[in-house]
Structure 1
Amino acid sequence: MFRYQRVLFFAFLSALFLFSCRAAQRSSAPPQTFVGKVYLIGNMPFAKLALKIDQQQTYVLDCPKEVESTLMQHQGQTVKILARAGERMPEGNSLKVISAEILQK
C-alpha cells in the first residue's frame, strides 16, 4: 500500500510540474500589437468581443471589464490592441488584452 501511495504522489508532482511549466511559458510571451476591427460574436447572453485582423484571422478578446466596455461602444471600428496570445477557445484563438486604442471613429 505504501508503494502505491508513493507512485501516486510522484505522478501527481510530475503532472503539477509539467502544467506549471506550460503556464509559465504561456504567460512569459511578450505582448504584441494587433490592428483590426472589433466585432461581437455569438448570441446573447454569451456574446464575446472579437478582433478581425483580415479575412481569415479572427481572435476572441479576453479583456478587463473597463476595456471591454470601451470596445463594446466602438464595434465595427478599427482599434489597436496590445495583447498576449491566450488560450484556444471553441470560437478560435484568443488574445489576453492589456490595452486598447481606438484608431477610427
Structure 2
Amino acid sequence: MMMMMMTIFQFQCCGVTGEQNWPFNRLPVTCCHMNPGTVSPFNCTSALTYQTGCQSVLSQSLANNAYSIGVTAAFVTCLQALITGAAGWLAYRSKFEEVELER
C-alpha cells in the first residue's frame, strides 16, 4: 500500500485507471493536488484529484526507460556468468591441482 501511495505522489496519478478505483470515493490525500503549505486535515474531493490513472503513467514511464532496464539486466547477467565461471574455475583448480600455501 505504501508503494502505491509513493507512486501516486511521484507520478501525480490516482488509482489504476482513475479516481473511480477507490471504494466509496474515499480518496487518499496523495490523489489530490495540494499547494505547498497545505495543513491537515485536508479533504480530498473529486475536484482536486489527478485525473490520470497510474496504469497509463507507469506504462509510459517503463516504455521510456526500457532501454536502460534492458542494458542493466544484460550487464548483471554477464557479471553473474563471469562470477559463476570464476567460481567453477577455482573449484576445479582446488580439486585437481595441488595448491601450495604461501607462508
TM-score normalised by structure 1 residue count: 0.31
**Where is the strand percentage greater, Structure 1 or Structure 2?**
1
The TM-score normalised by the length of structure 2 is: 0.32
Structure richer in helix, relative to its length: 2
